[in-house]
Chains A and B, each alone.
Chain A
């Protein structure tokens, strides 16, 4: 955690006196996070998964789309295939690593999209208030009442399954909750004295939002981001499971699970390994998110 970046929010400076260097909120949060065993374990697991997903496809002896007609449905640990092969004789490990990479990439990109839209939308609505706020949040309500998955399915069906579109579509849907969180926080923040001070100093609304409101929103936003990533991965997998997401021979976790589910009686490993990878990935993000929430907002400890 960066030290002193949010020096204005030092909590115990007054108590410890000027001689002792105050610990920033983030420093405290970092300490608490590192004491949380589940969160630390999850971070290690996720780091391993990320390294495997990034480097794995280069190290793997088989290509993820390498079809071998004479090595169909090999069980794990046979013929040099650690996790076995699928109906086309493709190495499951190579496909799993590729799928992991695609799923993680989608999770991060779509979350970034939702982050930018959600924070901007929520901060403006909350800060400007009045009719603007009413209108902006009404739009969010309307979008909420559109069954999310239907919206994305329509998009994917209408314009073909392309990856960039999927990033945008999922990100464009996931920003709704983010904007509500940010708006609520902004409403509370704009009553604070430092905003009044900034206004008295003659700052424009845009400058106050960018310099004073958004940095102070970071806590809840960071927590929500770590929880959005698994939600996005889930959404992508769901689409791929329905056959609308990532198209073969490209792999994604959801696509692999869908594939495995269809042949689970013949080759259960095709279902079990991708499912396990999915569960570990989602669990890691959720543990980190929960750990961060406890660390940043310690009132529920």
Chain B
């Protein structure tokens, strides 16, 4: 177990390293720089500014300096937000995104699994058709359509919920963004659960459980569910990636102070250090979740032994 985690981490580190390298040089290959502005800086001032951030050195040297910094946990200062370090930006805005994503995945998992189980238990019943409908809608109605439409209906027309803003994370402000973020995930999760459940319910050990007279409810909750949820575990990584991209849209539409806006804005402004910080955080998150998924998979499925 420990050895498995150790080996996976040994693979994850070069991966992260490659990601950092790729993003670093891609960003630097882009025309323009962080200190371009409408007013042309005089050469002396520009040289001073560049020297202040160590950007007058050759690119290779800057790259090495950045890597050593990251290895020590120092992500450098933001080039655009004066007096703020990248870590500060992550610390200030990260929790908002984290809260949104966490709530969305919790909502999606509970609703999705519940619907999926009900649909599989009564195939071709009402819930089953509902699940199919949601599954189709989840694929065909993108976040950037549901978000404005829900704002239009519940925010502007009915006035039940605020149309946007964070308001310290008040519950009313969270409802719409979380629902919008969760919807596509509900679609996938309910479909995966339904498919897994149907497959498991056909297997021999379920027939045994039924034959020994267990009530159906118990067969499903104690015997079938555990095996049926296995495909969901491997979906953890992609789900996280989906939430990340979804949060870009949601944070923009609902005007939330999360990390999402820095994603695009910093890249446009050539705020190299902030962009790199985001890349590291997001790639690290996905790697971590994939590792977690493998561990969970082994914990749930006795047939899988990690070695």
Binding site for B on A (CB under 8 A): 141-142, 145-150, 153-155, 157-159, 230, 234, 237-238, 241-244, 254, 257-258, 260-261, 264-265, 268, 271, 275, 278-279, 282-283, 286
CA distance A271 to B244 in the complex (A): 24
- Tell me how far the C-beta of A238 lies from the nearest C-beta in chain B, rounded to whole angstroms: 7
Can you offer 12 A-B residue contacts whose CB atoms are under 8 A?
A: A146-B19, A147-B244, A147-B286, A149-B245, A237-B144, A238-B144, A254-B144, A257-B145, A261-B147, A278-B142, A279-B141, A279-B145
- Residues from chain A with a CB closer than 8 A to the CB of B18 are 142
For A290, give the chain B residue with the smallest CB separation: B136
A152–chain B nearest beta-carbon distance, Å: 10
Contact with A along B87-118 (1 / 0, CB 8 A): 00000000000000000000000000000000
- The CA of A97 and the CA of B183, in the complex, are separated in Å by 28
Whole-angstrom CA separation of A145 from B11 in the bound complex: 12
Provide the residues of chain B in CB contact with A230, threshold 8 Å: 139-140
B287 within 8 A of A: yes
CA of A275 to CA of B22, assembled, Å:
35
**A160's closest neighbor in chain B, by CB?**
B31
Assuming A150-B282, A265-B156, is B144 touching A145 (CB within 8 A)? no
B144 touching A261, Cβ below 8 Å? yes
Which of B19, B148, B151 interacts with A260 by CB under 8 Å? B148
* Nearest-CB residue, chain A, relative to B282: A147
Q: Which of B29, B31, B268 is the most central at the interface, judged by chain A CB atoms within 10 Å of its CB?
A: B268
Enumerate chain A residues within 8 angstroms of B267, measured Cβ to Cβ.
153-154, 157
Q: Does B252 count as interface, using CB distance less than 8 angstroms?
A: yes
Report yes or no: B245 in contact with A283, Cβ–Cβ below 8 A: no
Chain A residues whose C-beta falls within 8 Å of the C-beta of B152 in the assembled complex: 264-265, 268, 271
Contacts of B275 in A (CB 8 A): 154
In the complex, the answer to whether B252 meets A242 with C-beta atoms within 8 Å is yes
- Docked-complex contact A149 and B248, CB < 8 angstroms: yes
| Contact (Cβ within 8 A) A146 B283 | yes
> Do A150 and B156 contact each other (CB < 8 Å), given the known contacts A142-B19, A242-B252?
no
- Given the interface contacts A142-B15, A244-B264, does A150 sit within 8 Å of B279 by beta carbon? yes
Q: Are B19 and A158 in contact (CB under 8 A)?
A: no
Q: Give the shortest distance, in Å, between A190 (CB) and chain B (any CB).
A: 25
- Which residue of B19, B156, B264 contacts A153 across the interface (Cβ within 8 Å)? B264
A147→B279 CA distance, assembly (Å): 8
Contact yes or no, B26 A155, CB < 8 A? yes
Give chain B's interface residue range (CB within 8 Å of chain A).
35 or more
Contact pick for B149, options A150, A154, A159, A275, CB 8 Å: A275
Q: How far is the CA of A260 from the CA of B149 in the complex (A)?
A: 10
CB neighbours of A159 from chain B (8 A): 30-31
B263 near A150: Cβ-Cβ < 8 Å = yes
A279 and B152 CA atoms in complex are apart in Å by: 18
Residues of B within 8 A of A265 (CB): 152, 156
Q: Which residues on the B side are within 8 Å of A242 (C-beta)? A: 248-249, 252, 264
Using an 8 Å CB-CB cutoff, how does the interface string of B276-289 with A read, 1 for contact, 0 for none?
00110011001100
B292: A residues at CB distance < 8 A: none
Question: How many Å lie between the Cα of A254 and that of B268 in the bound state?
Answer: 20
Taking a contact as CB atoms under 8 Å apart, the answer to whether A154 and B140 are in contact is no
Question: Are B268's CB and A150's CB within 8 A?
Answer: no
- A230 to B156 CA separation, bound complex (whole angstroms): 31
- Distance (Å) between the CB of A3 and the closest chain B CB? 33
Question: Which residues of chain A are near B27, meaning CB under 8 Å?
Answer: 154, 158
Which of A157, A230, A260, A282 has the most chain B CB atoms inside 10 A of its CB? A157
In the complex, the answer to whether B145 meets A145 with C-beta atoms within 8 Å is no
Q: Complex formed: what's the CA distance from A283 to B287 in Å?
A: 32
Least CB distance, A135 to chain B, in whole angstroms: 13
Once A147-B286, A153-B263 are accepted as A-B contacts, the answer to whether A141 and B140 lie under 8 Å apart by CB is no
Q: Which residue of A lies closest to B270 (CB)?
A: A157
State whether A145 touches B142 (Cβ < 8 A).
no
In the assembled complex, how far is the CB of residue A297 from the closest CB belonging to chain B, in whole angstroms?
Answer: 14
Question: Which residues on B sit within 8 Å (CB–CB) of A243?
Answer: 264
Judge whether B241 and A147 touch: CB under 8 Å: yes
B290 within 8 A of A: yes
Whether the pair B141, A148 counts as a contact (CB closer than 8 A) is no
Other CB < 8 Å A-B pairs besides A234-B142, A264-B156, 7 of them? A142-B15, A145-B286, A157-B264, A230-B140, A241-B144, A271-B148, A286-B136
